[in-house]
Structure formats: structure tokens, C-alpha cells
Structure 1
Amino acid sequence: MMTDPYDISAPVIYDLVLRSRRTVLPDGTRPAAVAIAGERIAVIGDYDEPVPAHRTEDLHDLALLPGLVDTHVHVNEPGRTEWEGFATATRAAAAGGVTTIVDMPLNSLPPTVDTAALAAKRAAAEGRTWVDTGFWGGAIPGNDADLKGLHDSGVFGFKCFTAPSGVDEFPPLDAAGLHRACATVAALDSLLIVHAEDPAHLHETDTAADFATFLGTRPAEAETSAIREVIAAAKATGARVHILHLAAAEALAEIYDAWLDGVKITVETCPHYLTLAAERIADGATAFKCCPPIRGEANREALWAGLIDGQIDIVVSDHSPSPPSMKTGDFATAWGGIASIQLGLPVMWTEARRRGWALSDIVRWMCAGPADLVGLHRKGRITAGADADLVVFDPEREWTVRAEDLLHRHPVTPYDGQALTGQVVSTWLRGKRIDTEAAPRGRQLRRSPR
């Protein structure tokens, strides 16, 4: 029987009860009734259990999932709001079942590399987010002294590049700079997240009309070489490090060996690396360009193997949109970024379902795992005491992506025209259904001590 977790002697009337025969809980998927009091999940009972509530919704066979947590989102505001912005990015996130994002320190102007820039970022986001939003800081040459201020101001960690980022105001760290950043992060008990490509293995080209030419300019060895340097720096300093958007599956063995050796290392990949393949990208299809690049089908299968056996920790979007004019031309000159925040859940579910995996696996990879990475332990799970961030999802619904229907700022995505299975029906943030036509209710999040 359901009881009030605060005062079991008093009669309880919950604000809302959501019932679903397919509720994805930490211990598995089963019929359940989720009772919400205020902004939190109060208790979880049996599907048929009578529960006093001001409002009850029976979802029947629709699935009830925790809200997705996407820790890799480029919002680009302030400064490059014409690329994206808090209003458009978070509306798209909500439509895709994402209830929490953590915003990258670039490509905004100024980049989030000191407390003044973080204040500008927070001011730009205030009152404009439909989902809860946190922020990464940036580690660039010369800002070591700024990291503690950013940490004390609540960023969830620090991003760096080992190769040029694509924007001049966010330069990469060399090997010495990477070691210094790791030492600072270790002293702060924070987290360094790394775009790991070794510039010594990157090749310039003036033109690349076909994807194979572009792929040749950023070989797998660029990732594996940089990851070795990250591992060495983490091992020497004791820093926690996280490898961003892994595309090269051959690096997994070294990451796993480092973890076995006691290095505090985690790794993510993205839906586009798990569902797309270089062999199927047409000439001139620059919506598919990202860095590191989408690799071949054999590599994709190896990434899936790493995800299934736990060598890959999480799956996040790396949503990095730009104006359509920047995605034209050829693969050498087009902006390298995939716009996909609204589509991650159905894209991943379509592929995972085909391979025989379950919604509980999606929740582990895209909800609980990313929440745990940044210490948001009230996010990403349906359990008593957690924020009532929920997604009603139709796992059988078949539909086709139309880029012009998506809510991020520009109608460009490599998934345009793709047939998918599974569609978000509604998204709930802290106990209330998100209405993107109403005023936004998203909050700004700050890191809590571990």
C-alpha cells in the first residue's frame, strides 16, 4: 500500500498519479502507479492500487520513462544565438523527452571560461528555458586561475580540446596544458571532459565533395593518440576525466585498460555514431558532418559492442547546430555539427529495439548514466524522492522525420526523411506537463558537492 513518506498517520492526497503498464523503474519495467507530490516523486505503487490524488492519468500501454539527461548540448547563446538559443534548444529538448541539459562552454560569445562569462550565460538563459539547464566551464590556455571561480559558481566541470575547436576564442590545450588542467581539476575534485583528437594525425584538405575524403582527414588514430595523452595526464594527477563523443571504437580497449588500472575515466558516444555509417553518406550530404566523424559500419558495430558490455558509459546528443548557410558547400568547409536534440530518444530506440534491447537499456544509457556523470542524482530515474521529470513514450508508433517540423532553430538534420519507431507523447518537468506554448519553467542548475 502507498503511504506518505513524511507522515504516515495523516491521510494523503497526492497532486498527480500517472499509471502505466510499462513504467521503467531502476529495477526493471513493470506496471506501476507513480504518485507525485509537488515537484517530486513521492511513492511508487502497483498499477491497480487505489491512490488518492487530485488528478490521475492512466497511460495504459504507453511507456513511462524518466526524463532524459543530455550533458552535451551546444546552445550557443549569447553571441551566436543565430545558430541556436536557449528558447529554441530547450523547446526541442522538451519535445524529444529531454528534461535536463548541460550546456557546453562554446560556441557562445564570450565562451564560458571565467565567472563573468558564466554570469552572461546565466543572464541569457534566465526565463528562457523549458527544461532544467546546467553549465560546463571551459579550460583553455591561460585560464587556469579562473577554474576555481567557475567551480565555486556551480559549473559541472570543465571542457577542453586537444585539437582546434573550430572557433578561435576557444583554443586547444597542448600536452603541458592538459596536464595542468588535470592537476587543477583534481585539486577541485571536479571533472575534465575532453574533445580528444590529436592534431598531429589530422590532415588539411581544401575540398572534400565526398565523405570518404573528409573521413580520411580525421582518422581513428587521431582519437586514440589523444586519448592516450588524456589517460597519461589523468593517471599522473588523479583527475577524473571523461572522453566526449567517442567515434573510434578501437580506443575502447585502452580506455577500459586504464579504468582497470585505476584511472578515473568515463566515455560517451552519440546516437549518430551508433546509427549512421560512413558508407551510406552521399556526396555533398554535409548535414552528416561532425568531428570526430561518423565512421564505417564495422566501427559502428564495435561501438554497440562496447555500449552493451559497459565500456561506453552514456549516450548523449552533442547537439551542435548552425545556420543552413554554414552547412552548405562540401565536407571540407561545412560546419561540423549534428542537430539532433529532439530525436535522440526515438533514433536510439529504433536501433536498440531492432537489436533486441529494451527501454530499460535506453534509460540506463540516456537518463541515469548522464545524471550520475554530473552528480544530478534526483534526475534520470523514477524513484521516490527524485524530481518528477517524466516522459510518456509510445514505443510502437511509426513516423518519419521532417526537418521543418523540428523545434531547434534551423531545419537541418541528418535524420530528415528517416523512418523511426517510437514517439514522445508528452514530457513532464518537476510534476507538470511541459507546454511549449506557455511560459517556460526550466531552472538553472548548479553543481552540488559530491
Structure 2
Amino acid sequence: MSYDLIIKNGTVVLENEALVTDIAVKNGKIAAIGSGFSDAKEVIDASGLVVAPGMVDAHTHISEPGRSHWEGYATGTRAAAKGGITTMIEMPLNQLPATTDRASLHMKFDAAAGKLTIDAAQFGGLVSYNLDRLHELNEEGVVAYKCFVATCGDRSISNDFRDVNDFEYFKGLQTLAKFDQLVAVHAENALICDELGDEAKKAGKVTAHDYVASRPVFTEVEAIRRVLYLAKVADCRLHVCHVSSPEGLAEVTRARQEGQRVTCESCPHYFVLDTDDFAKIGTLAKCSPPIRDKDNQNRMWERLFKGEIDCLVSDHSPCPPEMKAGNVMQAWGGIAGLQSCVDVMFDEAVQKRGMALPMFAKLMATNAADIFGLKHKGRISVGKDADFVFIQPNTSHVLKADDLEYRHKVSPYVGRTINARIAKTILRGHTIYDIKQGFGDTCIGEFLLKHKQ
């Protein structure tokens, strides 16, 4: 058979093993894995490289339309490609209007036209003001819904995202359970976090350590318990976002062991930064839930290796630099990180701590694809989309601001020494990024809709 592409001699990460083998690609799909392939339009020698499934980043904020001066599709998806991400699942907030109905979703599609370097699936929003329109987003093909039980949104802007109270959350769960939809939730106790934050500000406590103290672990644990129980009553599938504490993970694990349909994610920044790092870096490392102390981080690594976290995500949430000005309590909370997920975690998890390559691939790609129903993504397997990241191991470099493709070249990872590099990213058989040649000529990314999978 004649193929479009053959990838030879790489260490290929399959579902249960990693071995040196070849991959043949035809019409954007993986056609065969093995040896003896010779006839192809293009042959890539991946000797010395790890060939893994392209990352499926299940938590990405792109702020277009409405706030494209924060981050746009062109810059955000180029950064993703440079970081080894081939599919993102885009959150329904930070853009204006928030993605809460059919019309706002189509505004997003229009804004992205011709700008996608990678593929993109969509979250719809579950907010206080769209309980009667949730069906519209389901009909249009969102793969899940996102909600906050922590305070969010600019109250002065009518079409910004909004958190839900317990009743609104429960009613939304009941509706979405009928659609067999998944609800992803930001779980922190809104009232306690807000009041502790106000107390700290009034007392002049405005450091990184003060900010972390204003969002203590128990506020995450309490909220996770609450959202789990209400989801159990409503019989709705649940996904807990960016869990930052071992105690929070324990709640998810307990519910899962009891038979509840629940998954969870965490983020690289909780594994490679601690509160002391946050204090040194400053507001660029502010996020919520916050970066916690070293002991918390060490125990998060333990639970990651035990399999209690389903997937790792960037929670890429950038903003203009001026919104990071001032003290930690004043600054916008969000980390610009999607370009650094794969190389940083490959270095920290695989090279420094001995994580097996199949486990790494599951955390970065396979599990997210399964959780969110992306049937053609997340695996190097015959019939799946030919989405790959080539990782060059043991290649030390210091990340510089000029290396970043974000609209604003700022990130808490700038200045970090990373001992791995992304050498190439391939989407559906086409090279979209190469470390030597740069980006592909065209934006071939597509929107992935649930009913068209």
C-alpha cells in the first residue's frame, strides 16, 4: 500500500507499551503500526525521539471574541502546537459574550474562522442565567458543560460568565443528566474564600503566602464534597477541575470507589511550583485554586502516580500584563501555560521521577479524549487521527519570553530550565510545528462537535 506519511525509528508510545517501531498514515488516520512500510509521499526519521499522542488539553481559555486582547485563536493555538498539543477543549468563559447559548457559540465559531492551528472541541456554560437554554448548546455539539461554585465573572458586564448557587447547580445537573452530558466544575467555597480574601486585604495581607492562606485546602474539600453529592443525587456525570490538594483528590477517589461517575484533572503548575516559587515569581503565578506548599506538592505527586488523577491540563488563562500589576490580592488570577505542559511534565514526571511512558500518554492525551468523547483522538492506534508530538529527551534549554507564541509573552515558566524539547507536532498527518522549520503554511485546525464524532 502507498501511504501519505511514514514515521520511522521513533520510540512510539502505545497504550500499554513503548517501543521502537514505525507508523504509517493515510488520509489523516493511522493506517498501520509495525515495520516494512516503504512507499509514502513523506518519510520522517524519528530516531532518538519519543513519539507520543498529541496532547489533548481539556482546559484551555481562549478569549476571542470580546477579549481577544487577552488571547486570540491565532496566537493561542500556535502556542499549543509549539507545545505539542493537537486538540484543546475550550472553556466557555473569558471571551465575551460567554458561551451560554446557541448564538454565543456561533460567534465563537465565526471568530475562529481560518485561525485554528490545532483542533478544538467546546465546553458550554452552565450559569445562573441560562438554565432554560442549556439544550441549545447540547444541540450544537458541545462535549461538556462548565460551571463555577466559586465566585467568577465581572458583575458590571451582563454577558460575562457567572457562578451558580447550589439550587442553580442542581437544576442544571438534572437537565444535563437527561442529555447524558458531563458537567465540569470549579470547586471552591465561594463565601468563605471571598470573605477570607476581604479580611486579608483589610489587614494589609497582600503577599503570595497571604493569598494562598485566603483559599485554604478545606474550602476546596468542602466544595468538592458538595458538588459530588448533588451530582450523585441528580445522577449526572461529573468532572472536578484543577484539583490542587491531596485532600480534594481523596474526595474524588472515595466517590469513584463508591461507584459514582466522576473524573478529575490537575495542572502542571501544582506539580512544579510551590508557594515559595509563587512568592519569587509574583503575580504571573497567581491562580485559583492557588499554588500550595511543598508538602502539598509532594503528596500530589504520590497521588498522581497512584492513578487518582485522570488527566493533566493547562488551565491556560492569560490576560494583558497590566492586569497582573499591583499586589497579589489585586492581580488577575490565571496562568499562561499551555505551551509548557508537555515538555515540563515529560521532564519532571518521566525523566526525573521515572513515570512510564504509557502512563504519561494517558495523563496527557488518552484519558481526556475518553472522558470527553473525542473518539478519534488521544491514542496511537490504527484508525485514530494521526496526531503526534515528537519529544526530544535530555535536551536542556532555558525558556525565554521570545520563545512564547502567546499574545503576551509572559508566563511563570519563563526562566525555567527544561530538560526536554518539542521537536515536532503533527495534526491528522500534517506537520503543524517543527523546531527547525517553524509552523506549517496553513491553519488546518477544525472544531470537533459531539454529534459529528
TM normalised by structure 1 equals 0.94
1:5 paired residue number: none
Tell me whether 1:122 sits opposite 2:109 in the alignment: yes
1:64 paired residue number: 51
Rate the CA distance shift 1:434–1:119 in 2: closer, same or farther, 3 A.
same
Give yes or no for contact 2:400–2:414 (8 Å, CA) kept in 1.
Answer: yes
Give yes or no for contact 2:209–2:279 (8 Å, CA) kept in 1.
Answer: no
Distance in 2 between the 1:208 and 1:388 partners? Answer: 51
Distance in 1 between the 2:452 and 2:223 partners? Answer: 30
Q: CA deviation at 1:226?
A: 0.7
Distance in 1 between the 2:422 and 2:163 partners? Answer: 38
Distance in 2 between the 1:327 and 1:311 partners? Answer: 33
Q: CA deviation at 1:449?
A: 8.0
Tell me whether 1:185 sits opposite 2:176 in the alignment: yes
Distance in 2 between the 1:235 and 1:177 partners? Answer: 15
Rate the CA distance shift 1:351–1:324 in 2: closer, same or farther, 3 A.
same
Across the two proteins, how many residue pairs are aligned to each other?
437
2:394 paired residue number: 396
Rate the CA distance shift 1:367–1:284 in 2: closer, same or farther, 3 A.
closer
- The superposition leaves residues 88-129 of structure 1 with CA deviations (integer Å, 9 ceiling, x where unpaired) of 000000000000011110010000001100010111111110
Distance in 2 between the 1:310 and 1:27 partners? Answer: 15
- The superposition leaves residues 201-232 of structure 1 with CA deviations (integer Å, 9 ceiling, x where unpaired) of 21123354421111111111111111111111
Q: CA deviation at 1:25?
A: 1.0
SS at match of 1:213: helix
| Residue 343 (structure 1) aligned to one of 340, 344, 366 | 340
Tell me whether 1:194 sits opposite 2:185 in the alignment: yes
Tell me whether 1:133 sits opposite 2:91 in the alignment: no
Tell me whether 1:300 sits opposite 2:297 in the alignment: yes
Letter in 1 for 2:232: K
Give yes or no for contact 1:401–1:417 (8 Å, CA) kept in 2.
Answer: yes
| Residue 15 (structure 1) aligned to one of 4, 18, 37 | 4
SS at match of 1:136: strand
Distance in 1 between the 2:87 and 2:103 partners? Answer: 24
Give yes or no for contact 1:201–1:219 (8 Å, CA) kept in 2.
Answer: no
Distance in 2 between the 1:172 and 1:50 partners? Answer: 54
Letter in 1 for 2:87: T
Distance in 1 between the 2:166 and 2:246 partners? Answer: 23
Give yes or no for contact 2:141–2:450 (8 Å, CA) kept in 1.
Answer: yes
2:436 paired residue number: none
SS at match of 1:227: helix
Rate the CA distance shift 1:228–1:96 in 2: closer, same or farther, 3 A.
same
SS at match of 2:448: coil
2:74 paired residue number: 87
SS at match of 1:145: coil
Letter in 1 for 2:379: R
SS at match of 1:15: strand
Letter in 1 for 2:441: A
Q: CA deviation at 1:163?
A: 1.5
Q: CA deviation at 1:254?
A: 1.7
1:3 paired residue number: none
Q: How does 1:426-437 map to 2 (within 5 A)?
A: 426-435=424-433, 436=439
Distance in 2 between the 1:359 and 1:96 partners? Answer: 18
Tell me whether 1:318 sits opposite 2:315 in the alignment: yes
Q: CA deviation at 1:134?
A: 1.3
Give yes or no for contact 2:278–2:286 (8 Å, CA) kept in 1.
Answer: no
The runs of 5 or more residues in structure 2 that have no matched partner are: 434-438
Q: How does 1:9-408 map to 2 (within 5 A)?
A: 12-46=1-35, 49-168=36-155, 169-202=160-193, 203=196, 204=198, 205-206=200-201, 207-282=204-279, 285-352=282-349, 353-408=351-406
SS at match of 2:114: coil
Give yes or no for contact 1:92–1:408 (8 Å, CA) kept in 2.
Answer: yes
Distance in 2 between the 1:274 and 1:442 partners? Answer: 30
Give yes or no for contact 1:375–1:448 (8 Å, CA) kept in 2.
Answer: no
Distance in 2 between the 1:383 and 1:360 partners? Answer: 13
The runs of 5 or more residues in structure 1 that have no matched partner are: 1-11
TM normalised by structure 2 equals 0.94
SS at match of 2:450: coil
Letter in 1 for 2:445: G
Give yes or no for contact 1:209–1:283 (8 Å, CA) kept in 2.
Answer: no
- The superposition leaves residues 232-285 of structure 1 with CA deviations (integer Å, 9 ceiling, x where unpaired) of 111101100100011122122221111112211111000000111113333571
Q: CA deviation at 1:345?
A: 0.5
SS at match of 1:141: coil
- The superposition leaves residues 318-358 of structure 1 with CA deviations (integer Å, 9 ceiling, x where unpaired) of 00000000111111011100001110011111211211113
